[in-house]
Amino acid sequence: MKPSPIKPISLIQFLIEERRAGHINAELSLLIEVVARACKRIAVATNKGALGGVLGMQAGDGEGGSINVQGEAQKKLDVISNEILLEANAWGGHLAACASEEMEDPQQIPDGYPKGNHLLLFDPLDGSSNIDVNISVGTIFSVLRCPDDVTEPKAEHFLQPGTEQLAAGYVVYGPATTLVLTFGHGTHEFTLEREVGSFMLSRRGIRIPEEATEFAINMSNQRHWQPPMQRYIGELLAGTTGPRGKDFNMRWVASMVADVHRIVTRGGVFYYPLDAKILKQGGKLRLMYEANPMAFIIEQAGGAATTGRERIMQLQPTGLHQRVPVFLGSKKEVEVATHYHLIADGAQNQVDDVDRSIG
């Protein structure tokens, strides 16, 4: 279904509409405004490219560059983006604490500043390995409610299932700077009007086609996948000559935000499955500030998001930086891939339950 035609309203006007509809309160509205403003600053820093002295690795203590809590090389823009989001959210009184891919522990609101009732989690610059080659990167964020009577939120206070999210969004820093946002009442897209500096509503009530003709996966991991993934992707590659009876196209940007935005825009599926290399970590992508917010956005647009075996948003988190397998996008295609995994596990009796859980 095509999203309804819209008159160009700004993000601020949209947030006022959402408050009047009772979908959000004033504090959450302010939080989203602050995050959107911070992302505009990240866009400016990112868009400078080689002229801004922001490319390359973040300097470390020793010989090599800085390594983040994930054990990954840190780019200068990872650190800059993280600082921009922390600084923007420190003083507004809308947050109890922040958690970031770039920080081991949650960041408290500095003493002297008022605190709010929300927890903000973010990957400040997802896909940052693409920065130096000028490929789209992005910011992903998720908002949870701070448990009552908690004034110094610890990691365990963030460990809430994705179904508890009050808001989720991402910003793509690409040819256009685009914000995609949900409060649980549909998924909506805003495009930055650079001259004015406002995010303008460009798509309201996005719906992802249930069928897919494009899949996104890192094929170089193929020999490490589990058998059901080998079978499933093999059938996509067989196209009209195989059991699926139709040809598929493939994309892999290696920037989750860019791959997900393509799916939000024209359908398709994105997979980062378990493989032998990452079995111990439980997956590649992080549950709290990548998988859960993207799952919320995708589900609100009529898509599905599973680990290949269960709905992502129902997972009870066990760690702030926990990793999970991610299968998301066009609902019917995600269901096929998930069914293959359940059947391979001898859990076909769970197929109906999982289908019901992903709606």
Which tokens sit at 323? 């990793």
256 binds ligand P6P (CB under 6 A): yes
**Secondary structure tally for the chain: helices H, strands E:** 9, 15
Instruction: List the one residue from 106, 116, 124, 127 that touches ligand P6P (CB under 6 A).
Output: 127
Return the HEC string of 182-224: ECCCCEEEEEEECCCCEEEEEEECCCCCCCCCEEECCHHHHHH
CB of 256 to ligand P6P, least distance (A): 3
Contacts with ligand P6P, 78-117, as mask; x by CB under 6 A: ----------------------------------------
Residue 164 C-beta: closest distance to ligand P6P, Å: 23
CB of 218 to ligand P6P, least distance (A): 4
Shortest Å distance, C-beta 320 to ligand P6P: 16
Smallest distance from ligand P6P to CB 307, Å: 15
**Which region holds residue 276: left if phi is over 0, alpha if psi is between -120 and 50, else beta?**
alpha
Record the tokens describing residue 137, joined without a space. Answer: 């990167």
Give the one residue of 68, 165, 255, 307 binding ligand P6P; rule: CB under 6 A: 255
DSSP 2: P
C-alpha torsion angle, residues 275, 276, 277, 281 (rounded to 10): 80
Q: 131 vs 49, 56, 78, 104, CA distance in Å?
A: 8, 8, 10, 23
Other residues' Cβ atoms within 10 Å of the Cβ of residue 257: 26
Name the residue nearer to ligand P6P (CB basis): 116 or 308: 308
The site map against ligand P6P for 36-75 (x = CB under 6 A) is ----------------------------------------
Binding span for ligand P6P by CB under 6 A among 82-90, 125-133, 164-172, 238-246: 125-133
- In whole angstroms, what is the distance from residue 89 CA to residue 322 CA? 24
In whole angstroms, how close is the CB of 77 to ligand P6P at the nearest point? Answer: 13
* 128: three-class secondary structure by DSSP: helix
- Can you tell me the distance from the alpha carbon of 158 to that of 147, in angstroms, rounded to the nearest whole number? 9
Applying CB under 6 A, does 322 fall inside the site for ligand P6P?
A: no
Q: Which part of the chain contacts ligand P6P (CB under 6 A), choosing from 102-110, 126-134, 143-151, 158-166? A: 126-134
Q: C-beta of 70: minimal distance to ligand P6P in Å?
A: 9
- CB of 190 within 8 A of CB of 179? yes
- Taking CB under 6 A as the binding criterion, the range among 103-111, 167-175, 251-259, 339-347 that sits at the site for ligand P6P is 251-259
Give how many residues touch ligand P6P by CB under 6 A.
9
- With beta carbons less than 8 A apart as the criterion, state whether 37 and 197 touch: no
Of 21, 59, 250, 254, the one binding ligand P6P (CB under 6 A) is 254
Binding to ligand P6P (CB under 6 A): which residues in 277-316? 284-285
How far apart are alpha carbons 268 and 260 in whole angstroms? 9
User: Which range of residues in 6-14, 22-30, 103-111, 121-129 is near ligand P6P by CB under 6 A?
Assistant: 121-129
CB-nearer residue toward ligand P6P: 88 or 328: 328
Interface with ligand P6P (CB under 6 A), residue from 18, 78, 126, 299: 126
Contact call for residues 182 and 297 (beta carbons, < 8 A): yes
**Cα angle, residue 63 at apex, residues 60 and 65 outer, rounded to 5°:** 35
Residue 262, H or E segment: helix 256-266
Closest separation in Å from C-beta 21 to ligand P6P: 33
275 binds ligand P6P (CB under 6 A): no
User: Which range binds ligand P6P by CB under 6 A, 82-90, 124-132, 188-196, 298-306?
Assistant: 124-132
Q: What residues line the site for ligand P6P (CB under 6 A)? A: 126-127, 129, 218, 254-256, 284-285
